[in-house]
Structure 1
C-alpha cells in the first residue's frame, strides 16, 4: 500500500482499522433510536417519563447487526458507573432505564447469561454523556464471545534457544463466522515479565488486521531472545487477541514457551549430608529446593532456579562476579559461608549442603510516641519487626500505609522502602525503623497508620498487617500579612506603596481548606481561626504587578502566634529579561556532547538575581531535564545575577539523551527567571537539532466525519485515495505517500520520526489549525484518524518539479466522489521528491535546510 523512498519505507503486511465493519456498542443519540418494531415497556408511564437514560438490550443471534423479533435479552444486569453507581435489569422486551441521572459522563457495563457479551468498540469503553432535559437512548448489541468467533494458534520454531539469538513466531488466525471481524489486536505480556515475546515493534505492526468470513491468515515475526530469558531460563509468548483488546477480554489466547541457554553457566548440586562425609551420596540429593541469587550490592534478585531430582540447579546467562544465594521454603545452608557464590568467565559447579529450618515468620508492631496529638504536631512512629521463624528473612521491605502523615521526600524508610533493596532480619532478632511526620489528615478524630511485611517468600502486601492509631484534636491559628508595590525596587515598603484590593487566596491546613479575601486600603489582610498546618498563599494585584515566589518556602500556621507575611509585588520578569538559546550544530548523534549558548539580557534599570533555567517541562527526557547535569552551572543551583542593562553569555554542555531518537531531534526548551521552577512569568528560549536514525509508522482511517461524532460511521470512509505526508502543510516537501484501501484504511511505514502534515489528493482538506498534524515516534505505531472535509484540491509544492505534474491523471473512487485530477501511482517518477525529502530528514537537514529556528 505504501510508496516512499527506497530502502527507507516498508510495506504494511495487513490492513488496519476498519471502522465501518463493526458498529459501536452501545450507540448514544439524543432521541430514541429506530428499532425494527415497537418494543413495549413494562414501566409505568409516569416512571418512563422520568427516565433520562433508556435503552434496549438484544442478542444479535443472526449477526445482521440489528434487532430482530425474539432477540431481546431479559434479566440482563446493566450498571451505569458514575457518582453514584446505578444498576438495573432489562425487562422481557430487553428494555431498561435509569431515572434522575445527573448530567455528566458515565460508563456502561453489562452482565449477561449464557455467555453473551456486549463488546466495547471504543478505546474509552462504553462512555455516554447525559444532558439535562434530553433522553439518552442506548442500543446494546450482544454477540458471542470473540473466543467463539475466531481461533488463534501460535508456535515457536524451536523448543530451545541460545542467547544471543532469535525466535521465529508463527501465528495463525481463523474466522469461524460468516461475517467480517475487523481491527483485531493483541495484548501480550500482561504480567510484564522481562523474558516475554510479542512486545517488539515488528509484532505490533502486524496488529489491527481484519478477517473475512471463513478466512485464515498467518504471519511470522522474528524477535530477539530477551536478555532476561537467560536469568529465567525460558522465553514465553502469552497473548490475548480481540478487537479493542484492552477492553474486550473474551478473545482467544495463545501460550508458548521454550528453554533458553547461553552466557556463563553455573551449577549447584544441593544435598543433605546425613552421614557427614562431606559429599552427596545416594538418597541425599535435595529436589524442589528454590535457589535465588541476589546482587551483593543492591540485594536485587538476578536469578531463580529450582533443583531437580538429582539436586542440581543450573544457572545460565550470569555475569561474572559475586552473588549471595538464598534458599526458599524450609531449607537453609548448613553455614552462612555457603551463601557466597563466585561466578567466573568459565563454567563452574559447586556442592552445597542443606539443613532443615522453619521458614521466616515476621510480625510487626507500630508504636506512636503519644496517644493523643494536636493537629499541628509532629508525630514519631517506631515500627518494630521481629522474626519469629527459624531462618533469616531476606530482603525485608515495609509496605507502609502512613498516608495520614507527611513523611517528606525522599522516603525516610531508607533500604526498607517499598522499592528499596531491603534488609536481612536473622531468626529471633528484631529491627526497629523510626520516622517522623506532620499530620496531613485524620478521620473521625483519629490518626491511623498501618504496615505490612514483604520479604523473599511472601507476596507483596502479604500478611501480617499491623496498625496503630491515636486521637487527634483540631487546632487553629491566624494567618495574615501585608502586600505592597515595590515601585522603586529597593525591596522594602515605602510610603505610598500600599497595595489595596489585592485578591489573596490561601490553600492548605489540616483538614485541607480554601480561603480568600482582599487587602484593605493599607494593603493588609487576615485569615482568622483557620485550621493549623502548611499553606500556600497566592496574590493577584491589579495592573500587571506580580508577587513572585522565591523558592519552596514553607508557610506553617500554628496555634498561638499569628503568622505574618510580607508580599512584595514587582513588575513581571518578562518585562525585564530577554533570553536566547542556540545549539552549536544542526545534526547530532545520541551521546554526542552538545554545546548550548545561552544569552541573558536585563533590560530593566534594576538588578535581577537568582536566575535559573527550567527546561524540558513536558518531561520528554530532552536537554536540561530534571535532574539537570552539572554542565548547566549557575543556571542549575546558585542562579545568575544580571546588573541593570547587563548581558551575560553562559556556555552549557550536555550529552544528547537517548530520548532524542523518539522524534529524530534533540530539543533544548527552557524557561528563565529568578526561581524559574516556582514562577509563571518566565522568558522562554528554544532550539533544536536533528538526530537521524529512528523510524515509526502511522495508520488509521481516512474519512469525512459528516455528523462530527469522531467515529467513522457507514458511508463516511474515503477509499482508494492518495494521501501524502509533508514536512509542512503549505510549504513542505513530500516525504511519503500511500493510497487508502477500499475501506479507507491508510498506513505509512518506515517514516523518519518527527512532525508531519497529511494532505489528501482530491477535493478534501483538513479542518482547524492542527488538522492533519501528526507526530511519528521512533519504533512506535501511531494510531490516528485522517478526518477531512470537502475543500479545494491541494496544490503540489512548487519545488516538486514536473515529476508529479507530468504523470497521467486518473479518477479514483473517494466514497462516491471522483478525485478528477488525482495523481496516478506510476512508480519511479513519484519517488523523486520523496527520496529527496527523506534524505534531507535522514541526514538531519529536513526543514532546517531553510535556516535555524530559535524562539526568544
Structure 2
C-alpha cells in the first residue's frame, strides 16, 4: 500500500520490487504511475510464484515518484517482507524400451539402457537430467510440483516421444515409454514411374521400393506425397492416417501408387512426384524421394534463357551479372538422358532453343564455368514463345569460373546428326530462319548442321576478340 502523508498530491506514484518472486508488475497501472491525494492510501497487488525451490519468499517493495516531484521522507518508502513457503515436491519415474518386434509391448531384452533424458517444467521452471539404468528405468526425485515435458537426448537408433506429466507429490507419474526404430537410419526407399512417358488423362503408376536394412521391425510406415501440375497422388497401403506398412528386418517391399496425368502436366511436358516415407513422415523418417515421367506432345516455339557472369548478390532479388556471350549451352532430358538441343549465347547473354518439346531438362554449359545461385533445371512449357520478363528467376543462370565442362558433341561419331530441336547456334531471340523451309527432310537437317558449324566458328572469333579486349 502507498499512503500520501504529505499535503501535496503525488502525481505519479509507482511500486517497484525485487526478490525471489516471478513478477514485478503491480496493479493498478503502477508502471505508469497513479495519482495519490494527501491522506489517501492506494493498494497494489501482484500475482506470481516463488522462483526458488527452497526457503521463504522474500520481497522488497519500494514506492517511487516517476515525475520530477520530490519525496519529503524517502527513507520510509521501502519495506521488505519474508513469508514462509511450503515447497511441494514429487517424483517422476518410468521405463524406456525399444520395440524391436513391433508388437507394442515391452518384451525381455528390449530395455534401453544408458538413454539420456530430461524433465523440464515445474514451478519454478527447472530442468533435470538423468540416464536409464540397465533395465531401462529412470527416476527424477524431488521435482518441484508442476507440469513437465520429457525430452530425450540424441541417439541414432530409436525414435522416442516423451510424455507430458503432472507432478503433485501425491499421484506421481510412472510411465512406460515405447521407442520405435529410427526410419532414416534403417530404411532405404526408391520411387519410380512404371513407364517413362504418359498422355494427358492417363492414370500413371509408381512403385515405392522399401528395404529395411536394420535389425528391428519397422511398423506404421506411411507416405506423404505431392505432385507437380496439381496432380493428386493415391498412396495406397502407405496412405496417411491408415495402419501403414510393416516391414520386417532384412526384407524389401514394393507398394503401388497412382496419379492421374493432368492438363497442367501436358502443358509442362512432365509430371514429378515427391514422397517422404516414415512412421510418421517428417517426424520419424522422411528423406525425400522423387520420380519424373514425361508427358510428350507440347512444343515451346522459342524457349529463351540468359547466361551471366556472376558479379554479386543482394539480400533480395536476383544476382547481379554481366552477359556472357559466345558460350555453348545444351539441354539434356532429365528422364531419357538424351541431349536434345544446343545453342550459343549472344552478346546479351541470351540463348534460344526453337521448337523445343515441352519437358524437363538440365542445362549444360560448355567451358570453364560452374553454376552459382542457380540450378541447372530448365523446364519448357507448351506454347512458350520468348523470354519471360515477369519472372526474375526463370531460365536465368549465373556462373563463375570453374572446372572445364566438356562438350557432349565432342565424341559424336562422324556423320551422326544432332538431335532434333536444336536451334541454330548463336541465334538471337526474335530471329527466324531465312530459308523458309519446313523443319523436315535430310537436306534441311544438313543445312541446319552447316549453319550450326559456321555460326559456332563465328561465335568463337567474337569470343576471342572479347577476351583480348578484356586483357588490355
TM normalised by structure 1 equals 0.31
Partner of 1:765: 369
Indicate the residue corresponding to 2:401 in structure 1: 789
Structure 1 residues 344-355: aligned runs within 5 Å: none
TM superposition shift of 1:759: 1.2
Which residue pairs with 2:74 in the alignment? none
Q: In the alignment, does 2:171 pair up with 1:566?
A: no
Instruction: Tell me which residue corresponds to 2:246.
Output: 641
User: In the aligned structure 1, how far is the partner of 2:313 from the partner of 2:331?
Assistant: 26
The DSSP-based 3-state class of the residue aligned with 1:540 is coil
Equivalent residue of 2:236, what SS? Answer: helix
Q: Is the 8 A contact 2:370 2:400 kept in 1?
A: yes
1:689 Cα deviation after fit: 1.0
5+ residue gaps in structure 2? Answer: 1-23, 28-45, 51-87, 419-448
Hey, what's the Cα distance between the residues in 1 that align with 2:380 and 2:25?
A: 50
Distance 1:510 1:753 in 2: 61
Output one character per residue of 1:391-423: Cα deviation in whole Å (capped at 9) or x when no partner: xxxxxxxxxxxxxxxxxxxxxxxxxxxxxxxxx
| Correspondent of 1:483 among 90, 93, 96 | 96
Residue of structure 1 in register with 2:270 after alignment: 665
Q: Equivalent of 1:679, from 284, 293, 298?
A: 284
Equivalent residue, structure 1, for 2:73: none
SS of 1:638's partner is coil
Q: 1:725 to 1:755 in 2, by over 3 A?
A: same
Mapped to 1, the partners of 2:341 and 2:123 lie a distance apart of 58
Partner Cα separation in structure 1 for residue 323 and residue 219 of structure 2: 59
Partner of 1:504: 117
Deviation for aligned residue 1:603: 6.0
| Alignment counterpart, residue 592 of structure 1, candidates 188, 191, 202 | 202
SS in 1 for 2:453: coil
1:690 Cα offset (Å): 0.9
Per-residue deviation, residues 804-842 of structure 1 (Å, max 9, x unmatched) = 5982323014683169xxxxxxxxxxxxxxxxxxxxxxx
Give CA-to-partner distance per residue, 1:44-80, whole Å, 9 cap, x none: xxxxxxxxxxxxxxxxxxxxxxxxxxxxxxxxxxxxx
How far apart are 1:783 and its partner, in Å? Answer: 5.4
In structure 2, the residue matched to 1:547 is: 159
- 1:599, 1:649 within 8 Å by CA — same for their partners in 2? yes
1:739 aligns with 345
Q: What does residue range 190-209 of structure 1 map to in structure 2 within 5 Å?
A: none
Deviations 1:569-622 (A, max 9, x none): 455445655545442322223442122344545566664432212223x98855
Report the equivalent of 1:838: none
1:265-284 correspondence runs (5 A): none
Match of 1:587, SS state, is coil
TM-aligned CA distance change 1:750 to 1:557, over 3 Å: farther
> 1:688 aligned to 252, 273, 292, which one?
292
**1:755 pairs with 2:357:** no
Cα deviation for residue 537 of structure 1 reads 3.2
Q: Determine if the alignment matches structure 1 residue 816 to structure 2 residue 466.
A: yes
Partner of 2:453: 807
Kindly indicate whether residue 329 of structure 2 is the aligned counterpart of residue 724 of structure 1: yes
Aligned partner of residue 812 in structure 1, secondary structure = helix
Matched residue, 1:224? none
Residue 703 of structure 1: CA displacement? 1.8
Q: Following TM superposition, by how much is the alpha carbon of 1:557 offset from its aligned partner in structure 2, in angstroms?
A: 4.5
What CA distance in whole angstroms lies between the structure 2 residues aligned with 1:750 and 1:474? 74
- Work out which of the residue numbers 646, 653, 663 in structure 1 matches 2:258: 653
**Would the alpha carbon gap of residues 598 and 622 (structure 1) be closer, same or farther in structure 2, given more than 3 Å must change?**
same
Distance 1:570 1:632, change over 3 A: closer
Match of 1:612 in 2: 222
Give 3-state SS (helix, strand or coil) of 1:816's partner: helix
| Aligned: 1:537 with 2:142 | no
- Mapped to 2, the partners of 1:525 and 1:738 lie a distance apart of 71
Write the distance in 2 (CA, Å) between the matches of 1:587 and 1:678. 33
For residues 3-22 of structure 1, what are the structure 2 equivalents within 5 Å? none
Contact 2:181 2:218 in 1 (8 A): no
Q: Cα RMSD over matched residues?
A: 5.1
Q: How many residues align?
A: 330
| Greater Cα radius of gyration, structure 1 or 2 | 2
Quick check: 1:812–1:818 contact (8 Å CA) kept in 2?
no
Identify if the C-alpha distance between structure 1 residues 507 and 675 changes in structure 2 by more than 3 Å, giving closer, same or farther: farther
Cα distance per residue 1:620-660 (max 9 Å; x no partner):
85553xxxx4x624643121234566655443333235564
